[in-house]
Amino acid sequence: MTSNFKDRVREQFGRTADSYVRDNGFAKGKDLAEMVRLLQPTGEDIMLDVACGGGHTALHFAPLVRSVVASDLTMLMLKKAQEYISEEGGVENVTFREADAEDLPFPAGSFTILTCRIAPHHFPDVPRALREFHRVLRRKGGRLAIVDTLLPDDPEIAEFYQTMEKLRDPTHVRAYTREEWVTMMEEAGFAVEETKVFPKNHDFATWARRSGLNREGVKRLNQHFIEASDKVHDYFQIETFAGEVENFTDRKLLVYATRLEKEKK
């Protein structure tokens, strides 16, 4: 995909930045606690949070590490994240940097921990981003945790999901199955240590409007859910009332991996 797509991403998230910053679904979650458990951050760690969005992951880890660089493709999102972290108070070790996940502006081996939460499905080239993650992590002790929406293995359910996300947000590229994630991570030079799946319930109206959909867009998305097969309804636990979707549940995949000390040949 060309730079035009990334301009669309900047426009999309610049326009909706505030709604992401203020969303409790990003500010909280069992996945954050699990990321901490797996990464075991210490006061010696230097952390990079890629595609930081509203800054929730950076803020969560900041008291546990020496320093955090919160990076994002969208400058306005970074400004909103900075405001949010400043308002929350209590941390002074977070800096902000505009950065493309597929071309990170940091020297090799700059960080000991890297996180990326609920963002890779917007990346045009995930394998390239993973190679960049590998490059900027230290050979010894480098580790990362990625969380993103899990693509179902069932082709029918996966097709529904891909269409649903694109109806909601045209900057969605694609999600990946657990097997695809493990393969991509290993090919990038990581050892996958653990994966874990978390169900996440969404209030449909809040979720749909957070991406900036107008009334007609929300209506089309609602119809896509309503007309889905029983299999899809069961998988996403779609709850409706009087022809309106009230909520649904998808699954997030956490991948914890360590950087191999030796380069792949």
The pLDDT of 112-138, averaged and rounded, is 97
Span 205-259, pLDDT tens digits: 999 998 889 999 999 999 999 999 999 999 999 999 999 999 999 999 999 999 9
Q: Tell me, what CATH number does 120's domain have?
A: 3.40.50.150
Query: Of 18, 118, 120, which is closest to residue 77 (Cα–Cα)?
Result: 18
For residue 63, give Cα distances in angstroms to 49, 92, 178, 212, 253.
14, 9, 31, 33, 25
Does residue 241 form part of some domain?
A: no
Instruction: For residue 145, count other CB atoms closer than 10 A to its CB.
Output: 25
Counting every residue written for the chain, the total comes to 265
Q: What is the pLDDT of residue 11?
A: 87
Does residue 42 form part of some domain?
A: yes
Does residue 115 form part of some domain?
A: yes
Does residue 229 form part of some domain?
A: no
Domain, as residue range, for 20: 3-152+172-200+251-259
Query: Of 66, 47, 171, 173, which is closest to residue 116 (Cα–Cα)?
Result: 47
Percent of the chain with pLDDT over 90: 84
Span 51-76, pLDDT tens digits: 999 999 999 999 999 999 999 999 99
Does residue 242 form part of some domain?
A: no
Does residue 68 form part of some domain?
A: yes
More reliable by pLDDT, 5 or 217: 217
- Burial (CB count within 10 angstroms: exposed 0-12, middle 13-18, buried 19+), residue 178: middle
Span 164-220, pLDDT tens digits: 999 999 999 999 999 999 999 999 999 999 999 999 999 999 999 988 899 999 999
| Residue 114 in this model has a pLDDT that exceeds 90 | yes
| Residue 1 in this model has a pLDDT that exceeds 70 | no
Does residue 225 form part of some domain?
A: no
- Average pLDDT over the chain, rounded to an integer: 94
Q: What is the pLDDT of residue 26?
A: 72
Q: What is the pTM of this model?
A: 0.93
The pLDDT of 4-30, averaged and rounded, is 79
Confidence of residue 264 (pLDDT cuts 50, 70, 90): low
For residue 72, give Cα distances in angstroms to 77, 180, 191, 253.
7, 24, 25, 21
| Residue 4 in this model has a pLDDT that exceeds 70 | yes
Q: What is the pLDDT of residue 16?
A: 77
φ, ψ at 54 (rounded to 5°): -75, -5
Confidence of residue 153 (pLDDT cuts 50, 70, 90): very high
Number of H helices, E strands in the chain: 11, 8
Give how far the C-alpha of residue 255 lies from the chain's centroid of Cα atoms, to the nearest Å: 12
Task: State the total domains in the chain.
Answer: 1
Does residue 186 form part of some domain?
A: yes
Give how far the C-alpha of residue 170 lies from the chain's centroid of Cα atoms, to the nearest Å: 16
